[in-house]
Amino acid sequence: MDLDLCGKRAVITGGSRGIGKSIAIVLATEGVEIAICGRNKDSLDQASADILNETGKSILTVVADTTDTASVESFISAAADHLGGIDILVNNAAAPGGLVMGPLNTADPDELLADIDTKVVGYMRVAKAAEPFLKEGGWGRIINIGGLAARSGGAISGMRNLALSHFTKTLSNELGPQGVNVNIIHPGATRTERTDPMNQAQAKEKNVSIKEVEEAASAGIDIRRIVESEEVAFLAAFLASPKASAITGESIAAGGGAGSAVFQ
Ligand SMILES: NC(=O)c1ccc[n+]([C@@H]2O[C@H](COP(=O)([O-])OP(=O)(O)OC[C@H]3O[C@@H](n4cnc5c(N)ncnc54)[C@H](OP(=O)(O)O)[C@@H]3O)[C@@H](O)[C@H]2O)c1
């Protein structure tokens, strides 16, 4: 199926590694013009070189911090200038898992505020700056990258993903009539550059093999393996495409069937 994405213009926050970088690669392969941001210039330069190498496409990289409104506005303005407009926004920049993972007696309110500032308010800052461009041609897409913690308890920082599901439906209600579809993808445990070093450290700590660590991490996942970041990117590319015209306001998991809860 041709996704009809060729020539569309996308901005991706946190595109220098992990899921954001995979989304940039898949969209670039589909012929999308791309701008990414992150806080570290060296990582952005490396991502740009990797994407050029893998897809043959040059992308725009901008150093920007999504916790800073002025920084977000200058990223979006530079992207719109460079690309000649914006059709697709992928809100992705955040620390996976969040900062507040432990029990209440060790939970730090300032860390929770930092998590929410990055992932919830940060996504809002970027959507607000990009909105005029997305509405301009009467067609646009916003894809928020949440996380399956939205659907089960476990870590206090998980609440940011639930907040984003609400944000997604609210923006869909507002922007749908103007041709902008808004959806959220909830990844579960997803393989990125961080996974192997994390598994190695855990294996060492527990004195088990890396294979055993991976098997334990996959036990509650229906497909019995953690998902590759590219697999999340394929869903993002479909939702970004004109082919997903009937889908908006939805929360869609890409977690390989993690957990046992049923959603209507
Ligand atoms: N990986 C998983 O298993 C998993 C599971 C569920 C949900 N998710 C969600 O998926 C998204 C991506 O996760 P990931 O695993 O790909 O993370 P990652 O590998 O750590 O990459 C995060 C990206 O975001 C950028 N970033 C972080 N904070 C930023 C900020 N304030 N301003 C601008 N850029 C920022 C990082 O670059 P700099 O550090 O240079 O800024 C990097 O490019 C996150 O929203 C995460 O919560 C991931």
The residue-averaged pLDDT of 15-40 equals 98
Name the residue with the closest Cα to ligand 1, atom 37.
38
Q: What element of type H or E holds 37?
A: strand 33-38
Rounded Cα distance between 178 and 197, Å, is 45
Rounded Cα distance between 5 and 61, Å, is 20
The residue-averaged pLDDT of 234-260 equals 97
Q: Which residue has the tokens 């192997």?
A: 196
Whether 261 has a pLDDT exceeding 90, the answer reads no
Q: What is the pLDDT, as a whole number, of residue 203?
A: 96
Q: What is the DSSP string of 121-170?
A: IHHHHHHHHHHHHHHHTT-EEEEEE--GGGGS-S-GGGHHHHHHHHHHHH
**Can you tell me which atom of ligand 1 is nearest the CA of 189?**
3
Identify which of 12, 16, 67 to mutate to test ligand 1's pocket (most ligand atoms within 8 A of the CB): 16
For the chain, the average pLDDT equals 97
Q: Which residue has the tokens 């994390």?
A: 198
Q: What is the pLDDT, as a whole number, of residue 114?
A: 98
Nearest one of 15, 31, 18, 26 to 79, comparing CA atoms: 15
Q: What is the pLDDT, as a whole number, of residue 224?
A: 97
Q: What is the pLDDT, as a whole number, of residue 232?
A: 98
Question: Helix, strand, or coil here: 5?
Answer: coil
Nearest one of 85, 95, 78, 81 to 17, comparing CA atoms: 95
pTM as predicted: 0.98
The residue-averaged pLDDT of 134-162 equals 96
Question: How far does the centroid of ligand 1 lie from the alpha carbon of residue 143, in Å?
Answer: 14
Phi, psi for residue 195 in degrees, rounded to 5: -65, -50
Whether 264 has a pLDDT exceeding 90, the answer reads no
The residue-averaged pLDDT of 50-59 equals 98
Residues with Cβ < 8 Å from 235, sequence gap 6 or more? 185, 252, 254
Q: What is the DSSP string of 244-258?
A: GTT--S-EEEESSSB
Domains present along the chain, CATH in parentheses: 9-189+227-254 (3.40.50.720), 194-225 (no CATH)
Q: Which amino acid is at 43?
A: S
The residue-averaged pLDDT of 201-223 equals 96
DSSP assignment letter at 64? -
Rounded Cα distance between 181 and 152, Å, is 26
Name the residue with the closest Cα to ligand 1, atom 11.
92
Which residues line the pocket of ligand 1, CB cutoff 6 A?
13-14, 16-20, 37-40, 43, 64-67, 92-96, 118-119, 122, 145, 147, 187, 189-190, 192, 194
1 falls in which pLDDT band (50, 70, 90)? Answer: very high
